[in-house]
Chains A and B, each alone.
Chain A
Amino acid sequence: MGRLLAFIPLAIAAVFGGFFLWGLNPDRDPNNIPSVLISQPAPEFDLAAVSGLETPGLSRADLVGNPGPVIVNVFASWCVPCRAEHGVLTQMVERDGLTLFGINYKDKPEDATKWLAELGNPYERIGSDLSGRVGIEWGLSGVPETFIVGSDGTVLFRYVGPVVGDTAISTFREALIQAGAFPRGQNG
């Protein structure tokens, strides 16, 4: 028993050391909050189009019955990282032929229209979430956030922050492949 007791400080040190090691891991992001939406049906919502824009509005019904998974991107003209992300999303639509839906979060319609006129509009549908209430339905913590929704309307993946840079893009691509966005044989 006495010998065993002598090892207690070592055991405590090992537990603390393990915890610190875990905390120091540069890949660990403490801001990464797990979403409750994953593997759940997309929330119920119905958003009107951004006024002044020809792109139609977005509702839950539009997320169901698509031939493949779709990307739902929450953006705003006032959000600087969204501007950087815009090019990546545009490329996914133009080069990979993916379907992109948008939720314009707490944005003035005229600002959003101007922003899209300047940068181009890769969105097939855009819902205008003026109050931010639909954002809450999606468990949003900020913009931009990007979701992948399966053809049955199930949320498959959520990316918090801009899909910019090699790591983010490859993570997102991997999720798209997992979701079955690319037909077999065609490697992104």
Chain B
Amino acid sequence: MRLVAFAFLMLLPVMAFAVEPDEMLQDPVLEQRAREISRELRCVVCQNQDIDSSNAGVARDLRILVRERLVAGDSDKEVIAYIHARYGDYVLMRPPLNRATLALWMAPFVFALVSLLVGWTVISRSRRRAAATGFSDDEKAEIARFIEENASKDGS
């Protein structure tokens, strides 16, 4: 009995959704699709939260709207397009690729390219410097001669 109670309590936080029971659809497949769509849509009141986990009134209305569109036979894309038309790019958790977001989408590739370029120049420069500090054969011979002379002086 205590084990059951423990298991229940452990599961409690997992079960605590913002989605209220009266919103849920009877059809588990449709409900699952609704949940997935809800996670793609941003709450317009409590930003940085998707409408699936938000308790705001508008988020609840949008969740119900998503389910209504699904029941009416819309595809996932059509449902998202419907809400996108009313709330704009802002409502999408994943920003679409367009002229305004081009910099955002391209930045990781540009940064990677720049850092590769910088890394490559630094490494190749340090290699060149190492090559430059090497001695020529003539110099090596001179050094050897110098050491030898001094060694013989010390010995005397």
In the bound assembly, the distance between CA atoms of A138 and B85 in angstroms comes to 10
In the complex, how many angstroms separate the beta carbon of B20 from the nearest chain A beta carbon? 15
A36 and B58 contacting across the interface, CB-CB below 8 Å: no
* Bound complex: CA A187 to CA B61 (Å): 42
Q: Given A35, A36, A135, which contacts B61 in the complex, CB threshold below 8 Å?
A: A135
Residues on B with C-beta less than 8 A from A5 are 118, 121-122
> By the criterion CB–CB under 8 Å, are B118 and A8 in contact?
yes
Are B86 and A137 in touch, CB under 8 angstroms? yes
A31 contacts B by Cβ under 8 Å? yes
Whether A140 contacts B58 by the Cβ 8 Å rule is yes
Contact in complex: B85, A141 (CB < 8 Å) = no
Question: Quick one: CB contact mask for B12-51 with A, threshold 8 Å, 1 for yes?
Answer: 0000000000000000000000000000000011010000
- Chain B residues with a Cβ closer than 8 Å to the other chain, count: 17
Q: Is B47 within 8 A of A136, CB to CB?
A: no
A173 in the interface, Cβ–Cβ < 8 Å? no
Interface residues of B in 49-100 (CB under 8 A from A): 57-58, 61-62, 65, 85-88, 90
Choose among A31, A34, A106, A136 the residue that contacts B62 (Cβ–Cβ < 8 A).
A136
User: Measuring CB to CB, which residues of chain A are less than 8 angstroms from any residue of chain B?
Assistant: 1-2, 5, 8, 30-31, 33-36, 43, 106, 131-133, 135-142
Q: Given contacts A2-B125, A136-B61, A141-B44, could you give 14 more A-B pairs where the C-beta distance is less than 8 Å?
A: A5-B121, A5-B122, A31-B47, A33-B44, A33-B90, A34-B88, A34-B90, A135-B58, A135-B61, A139-B86, A139-B88, A141-B58, A142-B45, A142-B58
CB-defined A-B contacts under 8 Å, sample of 21: A2-B125, A5-B122, A33-B44, A33-B90, A34-B88, A36-B85, A36-B86, A36-B87, A36-B88, A106-B57, A131-B61, A132-B57, A132-B58, A132-B61, A135-B61, A136-B62, A136-B65, A138-B86, A139-B88, A141-B45, A142-B58
